Amino acid sequence: MSESGEGSWWKRTVVIGPLGAGLVAIFVVVVTPVGEKIREFVFPTGAFVQGVVKKNQRPVPMIKVSLDDKRDTKTGHGGGFVFEKVSRGVHFINVLSDRSQLLTQEPFFIKPGDKEKQLSPIELEATPEATKPEVAGRPATNPAFVMEQRQPEYVVNLMHLARPLPLTDRRPGFESNRYAVTTWVAASQQTLDRIARVTYYLHPTFNPSVVTRDSRSDDFRLSFTAWGQFEIKAKVYFNDGTVKDVSRFLSF
């Protein structure tokens, strides 16, 4: 190899090699799941989360609100609350009475890189609770639920998440309700965008036992406390006028 050839090879090795490695590193950090973890480690998510607590459509001032049972605050005169520097992942907002009894619980999710999160209004009066325990092993359906004859082709499912409630967090008179439960609608983004509202039919021992949710932002979530096992049914109303029936069996 000539002297000039050796020089060109050396330049390519010294310059192009590190340049290529740098481009590969940039691709890994920007595009791949590994890069997402690296970015989250170097620049962790610290979201600004705000919401409002209502009862009978009116703001509830000076009520205790807890984030994951770790950070507490109280609502302002307009019923609003704020939590700063909330990390990525699933979190729970707990609304508590003056005696620190759990009134309702709402889950939410922070994606990597989120800076702000506006939660849907938390309605205290629409939180169903079982008035008495149901006999284990005997599923029941709310008699108000009537199956629709025509079912649209949309693929929709009910999902749920249950969290054990410590005895100290249970409301007086509802100590048998051992779990805080959240259910929501799972579907493609295109299908969710077509949904106008969802009406849930709980066991008749719940009060209320029929509840409607119309918040697309949280996938039409419903939270309640429960015990035992039963079948929850729901009617999904679409903007085109069609209605789809879905159900999910819950057992605790």
pLDDT at 234 (0 to 100): 95
Asked, colleague to colleague, whether 47-125 and 129-251 share their fold, the answer is yes
> In the prediction, which pLDDT does 31 show?
47
Q: What pLDDT is recorded for position 34?
A: 55
Q: What pLDDT is attached to residue 170?
A: 77
CATH T-level topology, domain 47-125: Immunoglobulin-like (2.60.40)
Residues of the chain with confidence (pLDDT) below 50: 1-2, 10, 27-31, 136
Residue 122 CA to residue 104 CA, distance in Å, equals: 8
Task: Please give the single-letter amino acid code of residue 206.
Answer: F
Q: What pLDDT shows up at residue 88?
A: 82
* Model pTM above 0.75: no
What end-to-end distance do the CA atoms of the chain give, in Å?
Answer: 77
Long-range contacts of 3-10 (CB under 8 A, 24+ apart): none
Q: What are 32-59's pLDDT values in tens digits?
A: 555 555 555 565 668 899 999 988 778 9
- The tokens describing 170, both together, are 């249970």
What residue ranges do the domains of the chain occupy? 3-42, 47-125, 129-251
- Tell me which architecture the domain covering 129-251 has in CATH: Sandwich (2.60)
So what's the pLDDT on residue 191?
95
Per-residue model confidence (pLDDT) at position 29: 43
